[in-house]
Every structure is written in C-alpha cells, then in structure tokens.
A and B are shown apart, each in its own frame.
Chain A
Amino acid sequence: MHKLKLTLMLLIASLMLGLLGCTSLPAANTVKLKVMTHDKENRYFNNQYGDMFHAQNDSIKIELIRPKSIKLEKTAPNYVQALQQSIEQEQLDVLQLSIYDYKLLSAAGFLLDLDPLVARDQYNIETIFPSITSLLREQGGGKLYGFAPTFQRQVIFYNMDLFDQYGIEPPHDGMTWQELIGLAGQFPTGGDEQSRIYGGFTSFGLNKENPLDELGVRIGLSMGLKAVNLDTMQVTMDTEGWKQAYEQAQAALSTNALHKGGFNTDEDFNEQQPFAMGRQAMLIAEEPSWAYSVLDYIKSGKSGVKPFRVGMVVGPADPSNREITRDLNLNNDYVYAIRANSSNVGAAWELLKFMQGDEVAGKLARRPDNGIPSRMGQTSDFYGINLDGFYHLTSVPPSNYYDDPNDNIITDEFKEKYGEIIYRELTQVEESRKSLDDALQTIQRDAQAALNEEVLARKVNGENGDLKPDNGLTTDMTINWDDFKTVPFK
C-alpha cells in the first residue's frame, strides 16, 4: 500500500505540468500578482515564501503560473524573443529565472532595474552575501535586476574528535586541495578496510575504477581549468594546469589516506559512509542538504558510534587566489526578478523585498539544508554548525568542465567518446603502463579528433538552434501492472 501511495504521489507530482489546482475564491481589493514558477509543486514556493507573505499581506494575492516551455535550444537566435513572448503571454509580474535567462533578459531590457527602488526605500542590500550580489550584477551587465534568496555551496566538514585524538591541526578556510591532501595524509593508514581511518574526502569514496580521474578533475576544477575551450574549439588537456592537477591527484592516491569505493545499493546507505561512521577525518560536501543528512545520522547514534563534534570550513580554494572558492550554486532556487513592463511593480517589489528579507532568512536558517539564506546575519546553530561559516571567503560559480555552462553545445556523443578516452588512458597511468605526460598527450590528440568530428557533424546537420525533434509520439512506455494491484477481498 505504501509503495502504491508513493507511486501515485510521484505520478501526479510529475504530471502537474501547467495544471492548476482547485481554484480559490478571489477577494476584493487585492492585487493579483502573477509569479512564475518552474516547480511542479506549488508547495515549494508557498512553504518557502508564499504562505508567510500571504499571512502578512492581505492586499496582495500570489498566483503561481508555469509558463509554457519553450521548445528552442538556448543558443537559438530567437530564444530570448520566445522566452519574452511566453512570459508576456501570461502577463507575469515576478519571474523565476535561471541565471542564464536572467542574463539574457536583463541584456534585452526586459527586467526592472532594482537599484532605484533599493535607493528609494533604503532597502538594505549590504547584508546580502556579497558573492551573490556580485554575480547578479555581473550577469546583469553591472546592474542589479534580481534577488536570489538562497544558495548552495561546497563545504568541508571535519571530525573534530579525530583531529584532537591524533593531535593534528584542524583545517581552516581557504585551504587548497594540495594542503587538504597533506592534512589527510597525516592520519594513520593502517588497519583493514572495515575499521581503518581515512583522511578524506567523499561520502562513499572516490570511484575505485578510476580514482585518478575523479580526483584530478576535482582538483582541476578548483583551479578553474576546463577540458575544452569552446571559443577556439580546442581540447585543453595537455596543459601545465591539468598536468599539475593530475600529479597532485597521483601523489594523493599514493598516500593511501583517501577512501576509495563507490556506492553499493545492496549495503546500508549510511554505514557505507566512513565519515558518518566516525572513520573519516574530512568530508567535502557539495550541497548542505547532503551534509545535513549525514549530520542527522551521526546525531541519531544509529551507527553505534558515539556522536562526535563536527566542524566546518569552506574550500578547497583556488591556489592562485585563496580568497576564492569555485562552488557558488543557485540551482536549488532561482533568481527572482520583475518584468519591466509589469503593471504591478509596487506589489512585485514588496514580494521581492520580503523574499530577500530577514524574516524569510530566519525561517530558512532553521532548516538550512533547503538552501543557505543569502541574507546574512541569522544566527542559526543547526546541529552545532555555525551558519556564518557559509559566508566566508568569496564564492564564484564552478568552472565548467566542458566550457558549456548551459549544456547545449557539447553533445552527449562527444562526452561519451571523451569519457572513454580518459578512462582508457588514465587506467594505463594508474597501472603504471604509461606516463602521465604520454597519457595527457594521447587524450589531447584523440579528444581533439573527436571534437573536430563533432564540429563537422554539426555543420553538416545544421542542428544548432533548430527545434529538438519531438519523438514523444513514438516513444514506448511501460506500466508495471503489479505496482497497481491490491490484495483481492482483503
């Protein structure tokens, strides 16, 4: 029954594309504010912002609207027009935008410049996490066109008790991968896999099939490296930067201080995470939600291990500028902006101020695993983790491995070929059958050939910017009848 319920719930949740729920009665003298949403469930917005806003503003009524999706590639020349059209068609007042759409629409003059309103109301934007405001200004061509009330960012959790026990200096903000690896290497490496201690770094361990690649890529990304330069259509793997990254990874793996493994569906979820079991000194967690679920488990005492103290720092930092970490992520939420031609600018601005306000931040701070409030100054002490730590240093968006932040230029075919090449070459390095230099040269050569082929194929097909073929009509579907069966006569 439970499974059935779950199936049903998801069935509906995933089907509610553009469906409105039961309509509620409109009240008199209220401004109806049309707010754009991408979520299938209105509940997310309402829980996060809507319910609280309504409780305080009788005169503004939010209506959440999912505009029709645009069946255009983001690189299509008429993409931004189509986007504007779909927004105007619904006469949306407040827009929920990806950072990419925010950039395009602000450049097109479609969004309302917030600076005059900020100045008029003396609205405090000084206590918004500066990394966020900088990003929004940068993408808005110097002006502020929106707010992003929450963000995610990578953090390093560490087991304070383990550091104390071995008398090792705990990590601090702004350490580089190389320094963190050095720190991890100070922990003892003896003992069998079930009881030994690891220095770091991931939840389930580095992919044991190819740990060199996984770690090398992570180190490279912290330095802002990319695999491809799309301006020149050049693969950029045989470079000094990548060589350094992989050399550091090689050295790190040789210390045997890092946990290698991978997630095994047959085993207990939490018990597979040495950090959760008190046997790993540091955990680099990409998202707070993930990290908090680990903390929950530790607190629960279910591991059979005495709950230990956990500290948090931000990093790893870019070795060329230790004030910077490349991990700013708005993806769990969006940028909220006002349509310049909205006839409800006043109400829309009230909503934006509220969403970016202290009260919402205070609520978000109570459950920061849903995203860290970008409005600073809340003093949550959720599970002993000081919220303030998330605002340390400067966070910038991650560097994009394929130089393709919107995932619309580099094809899956290329990525697949590229993955095969990397795997083939780096396995040989790990098995000491090839030098790193030779492998990087081969990767460069073969991947470049694959990219050239890809560029050629695209030119021939003229695919860029065309409608994606809609093969929904021919796609096969399957229903597992047993999922919907109940016990007869029971």
Chain B
Amino acid sequence: MNRTWLQVVMMLVVSCLLVVGCTSESKGPIEPNENQETTALKVIYHDSELFYKQYGDGFTTLNDHIQLEVISDADIYEDMGDKTKEEVYAQFIREEQPDILILDAHQFKNQINDGILAELDSLKTRDFYNLDGFVPGLVDQLREIGAGQLYGLTPSFSSKAIFYNKDLFRKYGIEFPSDGLSWYDILDLARRFPTEGDEQTRVYGYSGGDVYEAPMDLVTLIDKMSRAEGLSIVNTDKMQVTIDTDAWKKVLQTAIEADQSGAIFNSMDELFTSGTKEEFYDSQQFLMGRSAIHIGSVTSLALMDHFKNDMNDYVPFELGIAAGPVDPLDPTSTYVTPGDIFAINIASVHQDAAWEFIKYVCSEDYARASSESNELLLGQQLLLSRSGFMPDYEGISLEPFYQLKSKLLKRSDEWYKIPDQFFNDFAAILSRELELVEKGQKSLNEAVATIKSEAQTVLDQSVTEMKLMESVK
C-alpha cells in the first residue's frame, strides 16, 4: 500500500461527502407495486445509502411485501432562517409525514413531547415481542424518556470501557483494575506508575483520546470526569452556572492533582497532527505499551488491532478490559449513548408494517447478521443492544461493555438552546483560571469564583440573545 490509512480515510471522506451530496434522497421505489399487498414505508434518515446498508437491504430481503423509501434529513438545517433546529425538524416531519422516524435521544424526547410518536407497548404485548435480551437498562431508559411508556427502540448503543496493560500492571506490582471503577479510582491507579524517564522510554499511568490516542489536557480531563458523573455546568431552571458545587470542586481538585502528577500523557506539544506513520504510532502511548490505562470504545479496540497488524516490529502486550467508568454515587451504571432510535409516526396508516420493520432491526436475526459484518457498527463506535451477539473482538471479550446498567444523560429542553459558543468560552475561562491555580497564583476557591462570575456574564448574554430571537418570532 502506497497510501497511508489516513490518506485513504481522507480520500474516502471527501468522496463520501460528495456522494452524500449526490445521492438523491429517495432510493426506494416510490410507486407502489401493482400488487396490492405491498406497503411502502416512508423512513427519515440522514443518509439513504447508509440506511439501506445498515437496515433496509436486510429487511427487504426477508420481506417482499414491504418496501422502503428513505427521505434524507441531512440538508434540512442548511437554511434555517431564524428557526431552531428543533423547529426545523418538527416542520420537516409535519411536511413529510414519514411512517418511521429514526432519532437521537434529544429528538426522541422532543417527538414524544410533541405527541408525534405511537406507543409501542401494546404492539409489543400483542406480538409477545421479547425485549429481555437487551443490554440492562437501555429499554428502561427509553421508557423513562416516554414517562413510563415505550415509544421507540434502538438496535445499538455506544459505550466505553477501561482498557489496561496487564504487563505494565504486573511489572510494577499493581493490582489490575476491577470492574466498575470511577475516574477517582482510575486516576489513583494511574498515579502509582513511575513518572521518570525521557519521553521516548517513560511510562504513563493514563493516556486519553477518542477514536485514537491524543494528549489529554486538564480541561479535557475535567470534561470527561464530569460527564461520568452526569454533572452539568449550568442549572437551566435558573440559568445559572453551577461550577461552585462540592461535586464540581472535587472533580476540579482531583483533576488538577492528576494533571500535575506527571502520570497523565497531557502535553499538547505531543499532539500528532502530521508526520510519518512511525511518528503517529509513536504518539499512541497505550498502543505502544507505554501507558497503563486508556478509556476507549469498541472502535478504539478495532483500530488498535489494525495498527498492531500494520507495524512490522510491534511488541504485543496483554490487554485487559474492565467495565467503567462509573459515577461513584451510582457504581453499577454507566452513561451510554443510544444508537438510532426507531419510532412510529402516530399518524401513519401503516402502523403494522412499521412495527414489522422495527421488530426486525431490533431482532436477534438482525443482531446476528450485523455481528457477522460489523464494520458499520465498529465505525460508529456502536455495539448491538442485544447482548451476546458481539461476544468478542478478535478474541478479546466485549463483555465489560455490556456489564454495567446503561443510563442516558438527561438534559432539559433549555440546555439544547444554549449555544456552543458558551461552552467553548467556558472552557477557555476554565483553562485560564486553573492554570493560575496550578502555578500557585490563585487558590481553587478564588478561581472557581472568577470562573462562575465570568461564565455567568457570558451565559446571561447568550440568554438575552436567545430571548431576543424568540421575541422576534
């Protein structure tokens, strides 16, 4: 291969973006067959090719009498005017009147609130459709969004686990991580590894990064830690910045100590942006056996496996995976993101056919077929919701990903109205102030007070602008 993988990826991304642009929105036969028994289901998804690959082709293979037509919602936010994303989507649904909606958790909640979705429990009971095989908690969480009623199901979910280098733990006589560790436990373990030595040979306790490894600066560490506890920086009832709570202070204090301990691969100077393949691999501390712990997804696992095979002189180590991270106050659950949530439009005249389709994508048969060609799942950091169909990856058990109870992050409707800019501004203020704390120029309490008041000013401005926008309408 003359091209490096990233060149290939970038090429594909470019060509795919093009393809996304080119493929027209509806790929399925629009015209109903002369055969009267045929039902055509209208489905909303962002990419029709991807839809058919993941769901549609498998279904139509088994069902002659139900055809699928995909309407893409990929472009609907391009020309929003002064509408919010939620409003644009709601209008799109009103106009298109699909039979099946495919939603993320936020959209799912909105559609339930708008009364658009059909309740699934009665269909489920009628057909004795079994939901017992799902990863614990996932269906309950979807039900919770529907205030006790089930309006949607997802065939997949995204979850993280704690990867560790058994050889390094053995070498330094440190106990292997157990299942259900919190970030506090993880950082404690990480800090027991030596921090001496030059950059080429030294060992790190922890190496971060999503998808592939990258240095984890203090702000990123705080972001990760707070997510695991479900902490938020704003109380949206009062629209107040809530960084001064005890829970937040504990996160900040622990993060600063860990950041200064030298145990974490945290220097942004080491961020790989371009170079040779060797240099890239060299920047992957956990992969190269130089870091004890890394939190990753099933995608990280697949990538690491690929990298290993690609290197000629790779020295392997024994990999362990533990379930986590968890919130110390709720150590048997972990936050996950649901994959595509399938729901039925309450106004659809094809309720039964739509339910057939949802039953299929959430079935064991679908799980079996998807596990046999799992590239699309792996590429989206997804695992199958039905337990037992992805038992391992290349001999490495995926059980830790399924072990803890799944929970979904709950955010208010107001939360989604806060602009991204506020969060970026907050991160900048946080970074600046905590640097002063690390240098000993400010106490943590002083810094927190400054962060709170400055961030509150930015938030107030955002809120005023939001209200202005709404009053214009």
Nearest B residue to A10, CB-CB: B12
CB nearest to B30 among chain A residues: A299
Task: Check B424 for interface membership: any CB of A closer than 8 A.
Answer: yes
Interface residues on B, range: 35 or more
Does B37 interact with chain A (Cβ within 8 Å)? no
Chain B residues whose C-beta falls within 8 Å of the C-beta of A481 in the assembled complex: 214, 271, 273
Count: A-B pairs, CB below 8 Å: 207
What's the least CB distance linking B428 to chain A, in Å? Answer: 10
Contact check, B379 vs A473: say whether CB atoms are below 8 A apart: no
Residues from chain B with Cβ under 8 Å of A51 in the complex:
58, 61, 369
State A18–B375 Cα separation when bound (angstroms).
Answer: 12
Does B53 sit at the interface, judged by CB under 8 A?
Answer: yes
The answer to whether B373 and A42 have CB atoms under 8 Å apart is yes
Question: Which of B29, B30, B31, B211 meets A8, CB within 8 Å?
Answer: B211
Listed stretches B117-125, B178-186, B301-309; interface member: B301-309
Q: Is B188 an interface residue (CB 8 A)?
A: no
**B277 is an interface residue with CB less than 8 A from chain A:** yes
Asked if A15 meets B306 with Cβ closer than 8 Å, knowing A10-B9, A46-B369, the reply is: yes
- Does the CB pair B226–A43 fall under 8 Å? no
Q: Which of A309-317, A335-343, A442-450, A464-472 contacts B (4 or more CB under 8 A)?
A: A464-472
Find the residue from A47, A384, A473, A486 having the highest chain B CB count within 10 A: A47
Interface string of B409-446 (1 = CB under 8 A from A): 00000000010100110110000000000000000000
Partner of B6, one of A294, A477, A488: A477
- B379 near A2 with CB under 8 A, answer no
Give complex CA distance A46, B378 in Å.
Answer: 17
Q: Measured between alpha carbons, how far is A166 from B31 in the docked complex, in Å?
A: 28
A299 to B30 alpha-carbon distance, docked (Å): 8
Q: How does the 8 Å CB contact mask read for B49-60 relative to A, with 1 for contact and 0 for none?
A: 010010001101
Given A41-B373, A297-B24, A15 and B380 touching (CB < 8 A)?
no
Q: Is the CB of B61 within 8 A of A478?
A: no
A382-B274 contact, Cβ under 8 Å, with A15-B303, A293-B23? no
A239: Cβ under 8 A from any B Cβ: no
| A297 partner residues in chain B, CB cutoff 8 A | 24
In the complex, how many angstroms separate the beta carbon of B107 from the nearest chain A beta carbon? 12
Enumerate chain B residues within 8 angstroms of A472, measured Cβ to Cβ: 1-4, 277
Residue of B nearest to A7 (CB): B13
Does A120 belong to the interface (CB within 8 Å)?
A: no
Beta-carbon contact of B375 and A43 below 8 Å: yes
Q: How far is the CA of A422 from the CA of B29 in the complex (A)?
A: 44
- Asked, given contacts A473-B277, A488-B219, whether A16 binds B375 with beta carbons under 8 Å apart, the answer is yes
Distance, CA A41 to CA B424, complexed state (A): 38
Residues on B with beta carbons closer than 8 Å to the beta carbon of A24:
368, 371-372
Asked whether, in the complex, the Cβ of A22 is within 8 Å of the Cβ of B211, the reply is no
Select from chain A the residue with minimum beta-carbon distance to B8: A14
**B10 vs chain A, min Cβ distance (A):** 8
Q: Is the CB of A489 within 8 A of B423?
A: yes
Q: A6-B16, A296-B24, A296-B25 are in contact. Are A13 and B277 (CB under 8 A)?
A: no
User: Nearest residue in B to A474 (C-beta to C-beta)?
Assistant: B276
A294 and B23 alpha carbons, distance in the complex (Å): 9
Q: How far is the CA of A296 from the CA of B426 in the complex (A)?
A: 46
In the bound assembly, the distance between CA atoms of A490 and B381 in angstroms comes to 19
Q: Please, which residue of chain B has its CB at the minimum distance from the CB of A475?
A: B4
A477-B376 in contact given A10-B13, A22-B371, A366-B29 (Cβ < 8 Å) = no
Query: Is there a chain A Cβ closer than 8 Å to B7's Cβ?
Result: yes
Cross-chain contact B60 with A10 (CB below 8 angstroms): no
Residues on B with beta carbons closer than 8 Å to the beta carbon of A17: 306
Which residues of B381-403 have CB atoms within 8 Å of chain A's CB atoms?
381, 389-394, 398
Chain A residues near B302 (CB, 8 Å)? 12, 15-16, 19
Knowing A9-B380, A51-B369, A366-B29 touch, does A473 contact B306 (C-beta < 8 A)?
A: no
Seen from chain B, the residues whose Cβ lies within 8 Å of a Cβ on chain A are 1-10, 12-13, 16-17, 20-31, 46-47, 50, 53, 57-58, 60-62, 67, 74, 210-212, 214, 219-220, 223, 226, 232-233, 271-278, 280, 299, 302-303, 305-306, 309, 368-369, 371-376, 378-381, 389-394, 398, 418, 420, 423-424, 426-427
Q: Which 4 A-B pairs have the closest CB atoms?
A: A12-B379, A9-B379, A42-B373, A296-B24
7 A-B pairs (CB sep. < 8 Å) = A10-B379, A22-B374, A299-B30, A367-B27, A477-B277, A481-B214, A489-B426
